[in-house]
Amino acid sequence: MYSFQVKDMTCGHCVATVEKAIKSVDGRAQVDINLQTSAVNIQSDIEPTRFAEAIAEAGYTGELQAA
């Protein structure tokens, strides 16, 4: 599992946009997003850098957290 901090998510639309970006990388990824804590948890076998790039392309700053 990968954990990202996406501090520039401010609303439900932001959450949906970030989730859509993640799913564009891995449609079967399990995604858990907590807007209050800005936490994005992703369960996937794909490299975390691909998710970071997708989040950035969606217009957000995803900071990978240490395991």
Each of the 67 residues of the chain gets a pLDDT tens digit; together they read 999 999 999 999 999 999 999 999 999 999 999 999 999 999 999 999 999 999 999 999 999 997 6
Q: How many CB atoms lie within 10 A of CB 32?
A: 12
pTM of the model: 0.93
Domain 2-64 has CATH 3.40.50.300: no
Tell me the three state secondary structure of residue 8: coil
**Of 58, 65, 3, 61, which Cα lies nearest the Cα of 25?**
58
Q: How many CB atoms lie within 10 A of CB 2?
A: 20
pLDDT value for 67: 64
Tell me the three state secondary structure of residue 23: helix
